[in-house]
Amino acid sequence: MILKVADLTVRYGIIEALHSVSLEVAEGEIVSIVGANGAGKTTLLNTLAGTVKKTKGSITFCGEKTPAAVHKVVSSGIVLVPEGRRIFGSLTVMENLMMGAYLRKMSKSVENDLDYVLTVFPRMKERLKQQANTLSGGEQQMLAIGRGIMSKPRLLMLDEPSLGLAPVLVKEIFKQILEINKTGVTILMVEQNANQALKLATHAYVLQTGSIILYGTGEEVLKNPEVQEAYLGRGRRNSRKQEIE
């Protein structure tokens, strides 16, 4: 396993946001975490990234405990693309991408990764000199993911990558996530579009009020009746249809 989380608890003052969460991610997988708003999904990713401190429990990455400093977490290979993109709006697309490589020495490897990002996201190549805050929402999301790739992740964590995007762009973003995974980058994804996230996932977890309540393959979780009713809106609709008939 590339990532092991055991008995992870996080508190904000007296509020316990995560309750003894345990999960594993194997190298090369796409693992999706689904759950309602307020379930603790973003807190989980931020804790793995080191921006939120855990109260107890352990996080092991590539056989070693994750460091306390955020920049060392990034250097170890864990990279978070946060919810809301958080690009540097006043910088150009090129400058944003190179910010992703800030902790790396300029080398042929950095140049190769830049070429790869511009291949996966050709719109970025067309807008390299454009100020980032002038991009559309979908383009900003592509830029945020591209910036993450420039950090050379072994584990790329995506927090709500399709949030606020038009359906046609959602489809494009998920296609690109799959392409990135095929290069060997492990993906841990929090996503409000449960249907798409579970279809893409090797394995999936359901997080509810800070606790893991269900785990399985993406297909198993997608077919679970409780998941279909709670997150896909299917069970209740089907029951109502039967009543009408």
Domain for residue 224, yes or no? no
The CATH number that applies at residue 169 is 3.40.50.300
Domain for residue 210, yes or no? no
Contacts of 6 (CB under 8 A, 6+ apart): 22, 57, 58, 60
Helix (H/G/I), strand (E/B), else coil: 220: helix
* CA 200 centroid distance within chain: 13
Helix (H/G/I), strand (E/B), else coil: 116: helix
Helix (H/G/I), strand (E/B), else coil: 30: strand
Domain for residue 240, yes or no? no
Q: What is the pLDDT of residue 242?
A: 36
Domain for residue 30, yes or no? yes
Q: What is the pLDDT of residue 86?
A: 84
For residue 78, give its domain range: 3-203
Domain for residue 98, yes or no? yes
Contacts of 15 (CB under 8 A, 6+ apart): none
Domain for residue 238, yes or no? no
Amino acid occupying residue 115: D
Quick one: angle between helices 108-120 and 167-182, nearest 10?
140
Domain for residue 50, yes or no? yes
Domain for residue 25, yes or no? yes
Contact between 101 and 142 under an 8 Å Cβ cutoff? The reply is no
* Per-residue pLDDT in tens (0 to 9) along the chain, 245 residues: 899 999 999 999 899 999 999 999 999 999 999 998 888 999 999 999 999 999 999 999 999 999 989 999 999 999 999 887 788 888 999 999 999 888 777 778 888 999 999 998 888 899 999 999 999 888 898 999 999 999 999 999 999 998 888 888 888 889 999 999 999 999 999 988 888 899 999 999 999 999 999 999 999 999 999 888 877 765 544 433 333 33
Amino acid occupying residue 83: E
* CA 76 centroid distance within chain: 17
Domains held by the chain: number: 1
Amino acid occupying residue 17: A
